[in-house]
Amino acid sequence: MILKIRQVGEQVLRQMARPLSTEEILARPTQELVESMRETMHDAPGVGLAAPQVGYPLQLVVIEDQHEFIQKLPADQVIERERRPVPFHVLINPKLSLVGSDIATFFEGCLSVAGFSAIVPRAKRVRVECLNERAEPVIIDAQGWYARILQHEIDHLHGALYIDRMNTRSFCTHDNYARYWKDRPVAEVTSAEKLG
């Protein structure tokens, strides 16, 4: 079932999501929610979706960065963003740790801030400890674009959106991103002259 994606300004996007117990994770309503979130993410389309984005203040995220999405990008962007396919998986009650001090700065969008993008600095590497949809413990070590997706989605569980972390002068519509910035190297985009 396709769920309604909540938009910025709705309270559920700005509150702390609560953890799920093992019993709740294994219960039919949560399993059905996971499947509906997967369908909704594919329909949007997106690479990640957190439960608060569909109205549930729960520590639950689905992620999948499909090969088809990456194929559409120029090769230099794929390399620059360290983007690789990520199979579908579920994160429940995730704990995120930043690994190292390297930062990557790229444009980011969000299904709950429809129609806009902005430059957001994120850690290049992260570690996530969580449970999967079978309530089994999982440890994820990620870098590049996958690390960005994890940070973005886990932010949702803490009531944060990318607009809280963005370079405010870079905030633009998707149309203007495509018109002016999409095919430019990040260093050029982030230069003071270009954003001023």
C-alpha 36/C-alpha 32 separation (Å) is: 6
C-alpha 34/C-alpha 84 separation (Å) is: 23
Per the rule left: phi > 0, alpha: psi between -120 and 50, beta: everything else, 93 is left
Quickly count: other Cβ atoms within 10 Å of residue 23's Cβ: 9
Residue 107 binned pLDDT confidence (cut-offs 50, 70, 90): very high
**pLDDT for residue 5 is more than 80:** yes
Residue 184: per-residue pLDDT: 80
Residue 193: per-residue pLDDT: 41
Domain ranges of the chain: 11-195
Residue 181 binned pLDDT confidence (cut-offs 50, 70, 90): confident
Q: What share of the chain is helix, strand, coil (3-state, %, to 5)?
A: 40, 30, 35
Please determine, looking at this structure, whether the domain spanning 11-195 carries the CATH number 1.10.1200.10. no
Residue 183: per-residue pLDDT: 78
C-alpha 145/C-alpha 141 separation (Å) is: 12
129 is catalytic: no
Of the chain, the percentage scoring pLDDT greater than 90 comes to 88
- State the chain's mean pLDDT as an integer: 94
Q: Is 84 helix (H, G, I), strand (E, B) or coil?
A: coil
Residue 127: per-residue pLDDT: 98
Strand 86-98 relative to strand 103-109, pairing: unpaired
DSSP string, 102-153: -EEEEEEE-TTSTTEEEEEEEESEEEEEEE-TTS-EEEEEEEHHHHHHHHHH
The structure tokens listed for 190 are: 């982030």
**pLDDT for residue 165 is more than 50:** yes
The residues, any chain, with a CB within 8 Å of residue 15's CB and separated by 6 or more, are 52, 57, 159
Name the active-site residue from 64, 108, 133, 153: 153
Strand partners, 167: none
Residue 16: per-residue pLDDT: 98
Residue 192 binned pLDDT confidence (cut-offs 50, 70, 90): very low
C-alpha 94/C-alpha 117 separation (Å) is: 25
pLDDT in tens, 72-88: 998 988 999 999 999 99
**pLDDT for residue 118 is more than 50:** yes
pLDDT in tens, 46-78: 999 999 999 999 999 999 999 999 999 989 889
Residue 189 binned pLDDT confidence (cut-offs 50, 70, 90): confident
The answer to whether the beta carbons of residues 4 and 37 sit under 8 Å apart is no
